A and B are shown apart, each in its own frame.
Chain A
């Protein structure tokens, strides 16, 4: 797998990891959700962005916006609500960790929730770095399972694009 794919899949898997482990398994086995999940190869964009002077907005699925502010090296993320705050935050942490590890670039992250007038800074602390490492480890473990983790009804199911696959 090219590293661009790994980062986009990886980020997505981290997002889902905090919502539904079954979804992690499904995506990891190439079973994408029903809706046209527009997974953008973030890595490629990030590279592009370093060569532009303009602020870039990148849409990632489930309404996450990632803004790269050139020169400021900030990964910003606009969210509708703080509903999946942990998910969103850890996804940013993953990118920060990735940029640091793979590219040797230290970046800062920020979560913007305009409707709640919140602005949450995300920095890669040693604790978060340890947590994301454990998550990456655990995602690896889930992906090695023979079958997907059992479907569990959670509020997220209602709007989930995998709903029919889990509850058919």
Chain B
């Protein structure tokens, strides 16, 4: 079973014979190449071309994060899987306005439905979320009639804003107060958690896309020409509430994540090393949690991201229109 490798410490990643070797202050760790599915780098890492070549041959993407845990970029090895047919279909669905809108709305619908699942769960647990839920349901009605990506993004933004404002009702933990979503930079611990969790999710989905025939550069909701990868952002929208938000709620409400796990710099907050490793562990546990799929038996959340890609295949092949994943809780 291949697993993601997270590198928090600083050091050197090398190829030795046919294995990976990670040299840090603690000494040398040998990592069998066949045990690694992707690498996420947080520490100060030295890596040379020989190692990158080795990773390419073994089809292992590498994602880099800076000192504060912000995403820097990815080493996306040359495509292992190529199907002209799929790429053309992907582009066709982007270029045709109606087709593009359908998919963009699909990702938003998935996101909103999963947001509502979270809210309903906490409402059942006695949190006063009635207004939040009806306000989001009301805003969501506008989605069917919008006919531009900009408008759709706006509706989605408003829904997220309403949702995030309810975090104070869901997370009632001393010292963690959420006023508004701030991204660049995240101004307080909850914002730092959201940003960090989202970057982990974006790179995880990107690694899954890498193992498919889809081109991560062609997205539908997120503008294709603005950034290097966008399809992973689209698919992430659907999974954010299911993975990232639930991890945050759980870590804070169970007291596993505390203020001591954050450092702050002028006007912003970020997770320290300990905080990051706590988050990553919970995040990975969540990804490995399995649920029952109607046709495929027990599948993990990570696997569901891959299945989401295959649902796009079926959509592109005119077999079955895309319906986003909605998690149960």
Interface residues of A (CB under 8 A from B): 29-32, 34, 146-148, 150, 163-165, 167-168
Contacts and interface: CB of A to CB of B under 8 A. Distances in A.
Interface in B162-216: 211, 213
A99 B295 CA distance: 42
Nearest to A28: B85
Contacts of B83: 29-32
A31 B311 contact: no
A29 to B, nearest CB: 4
A159 to B, nearest CB: 13
Given A148-B319, A164-B303, 16 more contacts: A30-B82, A30-B84, A30-B85, A31-B83, A31-B85, A31-B313, A32-B83, A146-B318, A147-B319, A148-B317, A150-B319, A165-B314, A168-B296, A168-B310, A168-B313, A168-B314
Contacts of A165: 310, 313-314
B266 interface: no
Contacts of B295: 167-168
A25 to B, nearest CB: 9
Interface of B: 81-86, 211, 213, 295-296, 303, 306-308, 310-311, 313-314, 317-319
A150 B319 CA distance: 8
Contacts of B85: 29-31
Contacts of B303: 164
Nearest to A158: B297
A126 B291 CA distance: 53
A147 B296 contact: no
A30 to B, nearest CB: 4
Contacts of A30: 82-86, 213
13 contacts: A29-B85, A30-B84, A31-B83, A31-B213, A31-B313, A32-B81, A146-B318, A147-B317, A150-B319, A165-B313, A165-B314, A168-B296, A168-B308
A147 B321 CA distance: 13
A30 B86 CA distance: 9
A168 B317 contact: no
B244 to A, nearest CB: 23
A101 to B, nearest CB: 28
A168 B318 contact: no
A165 B295 CA distance: 11
The 9 closest A-B pairs by CB, nearest first: A30-B83, A168-B310, A167-B295, A29-B85, A168-B307, A165-B310, A31-B83, A168-B311, A147-B317
B86 A167 contact: no
Contacts of A168: 295-296, 307-308, 310-311, 313-314
